[in-house]
Amino acid sequence: MEIGFIGVGQMGFHMARRLLEAGHRVLVFDTRREPLDQLGATGARICGSARAVADESETVMASLPTPEVVFAVATGQIMQGSRVRRFVDLSTTGSVMARRVHEKLNARNIVQIDCPVSGGVTGASKGTLAVMVSGPREEIKAIEPALSVLGRIFLIGEKPGAAQTMKLCNNFLSATAMTATSEAMVMGVKAGLDPRVMLDVINSSTGRNTATEDKFGRVILPRLFNLGFTNGLMTKDLKLCLQEGKALGVPMEVAETVTRMLQIACDEIGADADLTTVVKPVERRAGVEVRG
């Protein structure tokens, strides 16, 4: 397939690379030159703008940081493209924004396919992402050869924004695991427990989760803090989740608490700091560090 790809940051770079390695012809654009040059060296065609990508590709994928950026790019440059006929949004925007983009693109006979992914930089690099897709079934079927390169495809439905709702549910649970595990691990270390023994026990018990099974042992105990996803992006996702819950009339008290913890990490450690640094404000207040 010929695929346009806009936004080659930490996630987008690896997804575009995998498409290239699978034999697809990929046209790329980003506001930063370095990742473009790296992809160009492996066979990607570099375009000078998002509009240029949409002028030359029927299928345009995008992996962008915020809903506002997605809306601006999709309804600005992409919508004006002369060849584009489907827009595949790999970003996390929430269902409200997804429906807004759908309405704008639909007026120009461009198909909107929601396709947020989960699995982090590691999943993007290895092609093991959870690929959540909603949109017209025939259009999804047409791009399955490309999506299958990224990971396992989950068909969520045809309703615009359905896959975005699924992604927000997942990220809420992921962030909850990260923040709750931070408090539990700091409490144990403060009491004198060995953090590696704690992880062994938890992972053999009912408290195990993605943070205990992977993130703490691999990233936090060795003090690497290099998971590859930022406090700011997860805070954005949780705020979208709160908005969606409110719109649906669903109580989100746990999500509100998790969002507050993430915001503290943004304020004290930095929005651009790695998500795993959410443990640091808890450590500071307790006067201990969770180290291997």
At the topology level, CATH places domain 2-158 in Rossmann fold (3.40.50)
Tens of pLDDT, residue by residue, the chain (292 residues): 999 999 999 999 999 999 999 999 999 999 999 999 999 999 999 999 999 999 999 999 999 999 999 999 999 999 999 999 999 999 999 999 999 999 999 999 999 999 999 999 999 999 999 999 999 999 999 999 999 999 999 999 999 999 999 999 999 999 999 999 999 999 999 999 999 999 999 999 999 999 999 999 999 999 999 998 999 999 999 999 999 999 999 999 999 999 999 999 999 999 999 999 999 999 999 999 999 8
Cβ-contact 153, 147 below 8 angstroms: yes
Measure Cα distances from 41 to 17, 35, 162, 288 in Å. 11, 10, 37, 46
- Active-site pick, 167, 215, 236, 280: 167
- Tell me the whole-structure pTM to 2 decimals: 0.93
Is 167 annotated as catalytic? yes
Cα gap 212→250, rounded to integer Å: 28
Tens digit of each residue's pLDDT (9 = 90 or more) over 16-66: 999 999 999 999 999 999 999 999 999 999 999 999 999 999 999 999 999
* DSSP three-state, residue 205: coil
Measure Cα distances from 15 to 12, 20, 213, 235, 248 in Å. 5, 9, 25, 23, 33
Q: Where are the domains of the chain?
A: 2-158, 165-286
CATH of domain 165-286: 1.10.1040.10
Tens digit of each residue's pLDDT (9 = 90 or more) over 149-180: 999 999 999 999 999 999 999 999 999 999 99
